[in-house]
Structure 1
Amino acid sequence: MTGSTFWGSAPDPRSAGAPPLRVVALADTDSYVKWAAALLSSLPAGSEVELLVVETPLAVSRTQMQSALVGSGMDAEHVRRVQFADLARIVGEMAPDAVLVAARGPVGRVMIAAMAELDPRPVIVSGLPGISIPATTAALIHRTQSDVFVLHSTREVSTFRALAERRGLVQRFALARLPFARSSVASTSENTRATDLVFASQAIVPRERADRMRVARLLVAAARADPEKRVVVKERTVTGEHQTHEQRYGYPDLLRRLAPLPPNLVVSTESMSHAFDSAEGLVTVSSTAAIEAIARGIPVIALDTFGVDDSLINPVFEGSGLFGSEAAVIAREFRLPPSEWLTRNYFHDPAKDNWVAQVEDLVVLRRAGALPPKPARDRRGGRVRDIWERKLALGRMDRSVAGTAVYAVGIPLRFVLRPILRPYFRRRLSAA
């Protein structure tokens, strides 16, 4: 781990004798910290990196941090926490070649805007930390001002590129193998004690309480069907912790309503990597954990009880052969996808990865003082809208006087105008 003083202008990072590529990552929630740390670890040998956790309402806890960093080579003791108010100054003093902004859309847009105002500014990299099918306009708009948008499959790149063209948005997309899914598909565990059915919990999939209770009952049934094998409900948080998406109906609470529970049904908040060490198979609706499991040769069931729909983030599994019923879960009928699906979805030839090359190309321009500007998207409202969106994204972490003033006026006005303006914006979006 490097210190906090970075160097200034330097030659081409790819040339002999050039200073190493230096990258700072900015993250807040658990999934983005995990993604940022893993992506940094995939940079070329000799690169110097630092991870800053920006304090937002959903920032990771210390325990979540330790779990998120497993396998990244980073030590939680050396990850710095910073306030947003200090972010521009701190990164400006560090003067990195590039900044990886790893945050939810609204927060990411605010961080990207702050980095774009630095002089000289770093190359700004953003992206999405897992399955990103379907592509969404919101994901593009929030990251418009970044120089490079990292995605993780050839299908995602082609889908996002087509969407950007339809929406008239200019963006440079780059491909990177999911950094925490690098193992060979053929490397199936030989651990004879790998008998756990691991269920990857998701905060908003499915969303409704009745559907989540149905999943809870299924897990109880799976545990009772084979008392000699564990069913592990893999949660990402404990009470009081936050995650990228707010979870309204946590499985531990739902399971308590089904007590007494079979003793082989357990809830775990250990890292997914550790959970896989004893996994016979994974069950999920659409978690990126499915890709991690496949990478380790662990078979999967993508539960199809609730159908296949964009809102479930599971159309990506069409053609994979992973979809299975509740009966399949109880019978532990796990499966692996065919090679055709793998090639298009997250298991492409690593030689196709180009995100590092794209960043290095832009770093060359930056070091020469020729990095082209990446202006923010033109929007109505100007500076006032920027302040408003920063306040909405950062909540109580934005202590600026301007943010407080705009928020005090904007919330009542928003309440009045939203029903009036919503039909107008829907018509514009459908016509775009």
Structure 2
Amino acid sequence: MTGAGGRAPRIVAIADTDSYVKWAAALLGAEGAGVDAALLVLDTPVVVSDTQLEAALAGSGLPHARVERISYAALTARVRQLRPDAVLLGARGPLVRVLAREIARLDPRPVLVTGLPGISIPATRKAVLYRLQCDLFVVHSRRELREFGALSARTGYAHRYALATLPFARGASAAPGVTAPRGSDLVFATQAKVPAAREDRLRVARMLVAAAEADPARRVVVKLRAAAGEHQTHVEQDGYPELLASLGPLPVNLVTSTEPMGRALESAEGLVTVSSTAAIEAIARGIPVIALDMFGVSARLINETLADADLLAGEADVIARRFRHPDPEWLDENYFHPPADDDWTDAVARLVARRAAGTLPPRAPLARRGGALRDAWERRVALGRSDTSAAGAVAWAVGVPARAAVRFTTRARRTLSRAAGAGTGAAVSTTAEQGEEAGDLVRGDADRRLRAGR
């Protein structure tokens, strides 16, 4: 891949939360001297702490000297100063929409690249809509490429998609799934939103206690995404430290850890999760996995692809440590395709060449009503208290009452639809879908909404 004048292309990544910072750093760091890479860690209410940043950079290949923290107010000027050929937007959907709009105003406009930091099946319309202004959408498996392409064809929201090996699956053994030398820890990869209900999370906590009690000579490690006071990409209710503490005295071999996942896996006998991307990281190292089947299989649980890998098992299997390797036929379609099939850098190179030739067309964002006020509202929602602009304050003052009014109207329509009897299901579904597609104008407070969605 080459930039202007035959040099390595300059790609600047912008990210804020733990999972996106880890993904962006690893995606660019793996390219080594093939790209002139830098990472701007954007200050938002959910930005990584110094400890989380250190963990995200561990093993990424991106030098610390190429990473800097930055405020939103200083972001555009800094990107202009860096003169990138391309900008990688690694953030939740609402923030990508705001950043793409801002970066697209630069002259010359850099190529805009985006993507998702882990297992992205099922492909969702929301993920596509938020990223419409980007030139390239990076996915990580043949299945994702196929399903996102089908979604775009079905909805008309066209994207260019390209394939990149999931950074955390790089370095996989020649035959992932073959038993590799390993340690003795049972590592449980926590997730903020899966499962969601407190009673379900308590059930998992009790299972982990039972697993520790079943074999006091071996550790059960609850791998946390954040320490107390730190933020995650998604807000977590009912964290496991609190749930475990509620169960009374715990076995001494049941421990919690906030070390990098790669380090935790170094001493793992097997990994347990519902649907964390850590499962892919474990498979890449030849470490067997259990994807919990306690709550079923659904898009909401993000575990359909792990079910297809024949990794599902229950509480008794966890306690007995009957871990599983994936079905070999699953690998090629799901995150373990040959690295030679990756084409994201080639796709970026073609777009950079078109930019240099002046033939890279702009991509319009999703058309919405509201103009500049709507833009200011979306910026305030995406950035929360990090948006200190006067326009954001005005938009917030106007938008909060509008949100209340739309919520009232939506509830009234649902009530009328239910009362109508026949056709109720279709009417309620249509109302809910329209509310979601309308976007963020009428939902949540800023610091809560910015954590939502992909």
- Structure 2 length normalisation: TM-score? 0.89
Match of 1:149 in 2: 137
Percent of aligned positions with the same letter in both sequences? 56
> Deviation of residue 419 (structure 1)?
3.6
Structure 2 vs 1, CA of residues 99 and 430 (structure 1 numbering), >3 Å: closer, same or farther?
A: closer
Structure 2 vs 1, CA of residues 265 and 81 (structure 1 numbering), >3 Å: closer, same or farther?
A: same
How is 1:10-409 mapped onto 2 (pairs within 5 angstroms)?
A: 13=2, 18-43=6-31, 45-76=33-64, 78-185=66-173, 186=175, 191=181, 194-409=183-398
1:124-149: per-residue Cα shift (whole Å, max 9, x none)? 00000000001111000010000000
* Counterpart-to-counterpart distance in 2, 1:270 and 1:40: 22
* Counterpart-to-counterpart distance in 2, 1:140 and 1:299: 32
The secondary structure found in structure 1 opposite 2:248 is coil
Is residue 28–residue 62 contact of structure 2 (8 Å, CA) maintained in 1? no
Is residue 65–residue 76 contact of structure 1 (8 Å, CA) maintained in 2? no
Amino acid at match of 1:426: A
Moved more, 75-84 or 108-117: 75-84
* Counterpart-to-counterpart distance in 2, 1:329 and 1:387: 49
Moved more, 415-424 or 266-275: 415-424
* Counterpart-to-counterpart distance in 2, 1:120 and 1:79: 23
* Counterpart-to-counterpart distance in 1, 2:407 and 2:249: 47
Amino acid at match of 1:344: E
> Deviation of residue 371 (structure 1)?
1.4
Is residue 180–residue 292 contact of structure 1 (8 Å, CA) maintained in 2? yes
* Counterpart-to-counterpart distance in 2, 1:328 and 1:97: 50
Amino acid at match of 2:188: F
> Deviation of residue 95 (structure 1)?
1.0
Match of 1:9 in 2: none
- Structure 1 length normalisation: TM-score? 0.93
* Counterpart-to-counterpart distance in 1, 2:154 and 2:436: 11
Match of 1:3 in 2: none
Structure 2 vs 1, CA of residues 365 and 46 (structure 1 numbering), >3 Å: closer, same or farther?
A: same
> Deviation of residue 350 (structure 1)?
1.5
Structure 2 vs 1, CA of residues 278 and 430 (structure 1 numbering), >3 Å: closer, same or farther?
A: closer
Query: Does structure 1 residue 426 correspond to structure 2 residue 432?
Result: yes
In the alignment, structure 2 segments of 5+ residues that lack a partner are 412-427, 438-454
> Deviation of residue 76 (structure 1)?
4.0
Aligned-residue CA RMSD in angstroms?
1.9
1:317-360: per-residue Cα shift (whole Å, max 9, x none)? 23211000100000100011122111111001212111100000
* Counterpart-to-counterpart distance in 2, 1:250 and 1:125: 33
* Counterpart-to-counterpart distance in 1, 2:119 and 2:332: 15
Structure 2 vs 1, CA of residues 410 and 340 (structure 1 numbering), >3 Å: closer, same or farther?
A: same
Moved more, 238-247 or 183-192: 183-192
> Deviation of residue 190 (structure 1)?
5.8
The secondary structure found in structure 2 opposite 1:156 is helix
Amino acid at match of 1:216: A
* Counterpart-to-counterpart distance in 2, 1:69 and 1:351: 25
> Deviation of residue 42 (structure 1)?
2.6
* Counterpart-to-counterpart distance in 1, 2:433 and 2:139: 29
Amino acid at match of 2:62: M
1:10-33: per-residue Cα shift (whole Å, max 9, x none)? xx8279x71111100000000000
Amino acid at match of 2:266: D
Structure 2 vs 1, CA of residues 362 and 425 (structure 1 numbering), >3 Å: closer, same or farther?
A: farther
> Deviation of residue 386 (structure 1)?
1.0
> Deviation of residue 312 (structure 1)?
0.6
The secondary structure found in structure 2 opposite 1:312 is coil
> Deviation of residue 183 (structure 1)?
2.2
Is residue 187–residue 223 contact of structure 2 (8 Å, CA) maintained in 1? yes
Amino acid at match of 2:71: Q
Amino acid at match of 1:97: D
* Counterpart-to-counterpart distance in 1, 2:91 and 2:52: 16
* Counterpart-to-counterpart distance in 1, 2:32 and 2:336: 20
* Counterpart-to-counterpart distance in 2, 1:282 and 1:143: 32
Moved more, 374-383 or 97-106: 374-383
Structure 2 vs 1, CA of residues 419 and 159 (structure 1 numbering), >3 Å: closer, same or farther?
A: farther
The secondary structure found in structure 2 opposite 1:318 is helix
The secondary structure found in structure 2 opposite 1:415 is helix
The secondary structure found in structure 2 opposite 1:282 is strand
In the alignment, structure 1 segments of 5+ residues that lack a partner are 1-11
1:40-86: per-residue Cα shift (whole Å, max 9, x none)? 02326342110000101100000000001111123446521111111
* Counterpart-to-counterpart distance in 2, 1:143 and 1:421: 27
* Counterpart-to-counterpart distance in 1, 2:172 and 2:365: 40
Moved more, 176-185 or 389-398: 176-185
The alignment of Structure 1 onto Structure 2 pairs a total of residues equal to 418
Amino acid at match of 1:378: A
